[in-house]
């Protein structure tokens, strides 16, 4: 008796090609989440602080509030201040002691270039405020003169006023690799960053719209 033939719907090369294509599409999606092509491909304040980037992400959201009502939430960000408006419980599992504020704190509004921006209680995790354009842009960077890590980094928060009193909040991360293996580290970091940044953008929007 002849055995029935087994029909292979997918060959191993086809499955591999599908996985590679899916990974590529997800990577592009998460690196440009919410951003238009013009926002993702155009220049933003702070790009000049890291002139050459090996990897760049640009994520954005529309907020139904004017820029001057969004800015105070950005100005007070940081550990020991207004937090990051993301998943506090995940950040605190890593010992970051983050507690996101639900109101504007006047005592945390006076910021200037050169100030330290805390991400964790340990000073080694600090960033530096590289640019403050009141009501428009806040850019963080690795402090100049700090011990060199595997990559250099900038993190920009840019407010773009839109018609009807709305605002586009555009957040950009730029990485410049210092070690050959930094690429592997950053690719993993960016997936986690996508999850946390998406929550952060929604967190800022919810707070700003609730205050408008």
- pTM value is 0.90
* In a domain? residue 23: no
Two structure tokens written together for 7: 């029909």
Q: Could you list the residue range(s) of the whole structural domain that residue 162 is in?
A: 37-211
- CATH number for the domain harbouring residue 148: 3.30.530.20
Q: What is the C-alpha to C-alpha distance for residues 64 and 169, in angstroms, rounded to an integer?
A: 11
Instruction: Return the closest-CA partner of residue 206 out of 63, 57, 22, 67.
Output: 63
Q: Residue 147 has what pLDDT? A: 85
Averaged pLDDT in 10-residue chunks for the chain of 212 residues: 57 66 77 97 97 96 98 97 97 94 97 96 90 98 90 97 96 96 94 96 97 71
Identify whether 67 is part of a domain: yes
Is the residue at 101 inside a domain?
yes
**Residue 11 has what pLDDT?**
72
For residue 144, being part of any structural domain is answered with: yes
> Could you give the number of structural domains in the chain?
1
């Amino acid at each position: 008796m002849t055995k029935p033939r087994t029909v292979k719907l997918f060959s191993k090369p086809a499955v591999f090609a599908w996985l590679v294509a899916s990974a590529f599409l997800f990577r592009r999606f998460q690196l440009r989440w919410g951003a238009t092509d013009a926002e993702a491909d155009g220049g933003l304040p702070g790009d000049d602080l890291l002139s050459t980037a090996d990897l760049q992400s640009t994520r954005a959201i529309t907020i139904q509030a004017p820029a001057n009502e969004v800015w105070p939430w950005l100005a007070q960000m940081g550990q020991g201040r207004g937090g990051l408006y993301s998943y506090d419980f995940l950040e605190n599992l890593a010992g970051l002691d983050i507690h996101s504020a639900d109101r504007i704190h006047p005592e945390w509004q006076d910021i200037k270039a050169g100030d330290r921006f805390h991400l964790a209680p340990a000073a080694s995790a600090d960033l530096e405020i590289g640019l403050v354009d009141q009501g428009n842009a806040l850019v963080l960077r690795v402090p100049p003169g700090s011990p060199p890590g595997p990559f250099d980094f900038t993190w920009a928060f840019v407010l773009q006023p839109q018609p009807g009193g709305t605002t586009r909040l555009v957040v950009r991360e730029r990485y410049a690799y210092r070690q050959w293996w930094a690429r592997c580290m950053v690719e993993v970091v960016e997936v986690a960053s996508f999850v946390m940044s998406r929550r952060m953008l929604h967190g800022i929007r919810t707070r700003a719209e609730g205050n408008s």
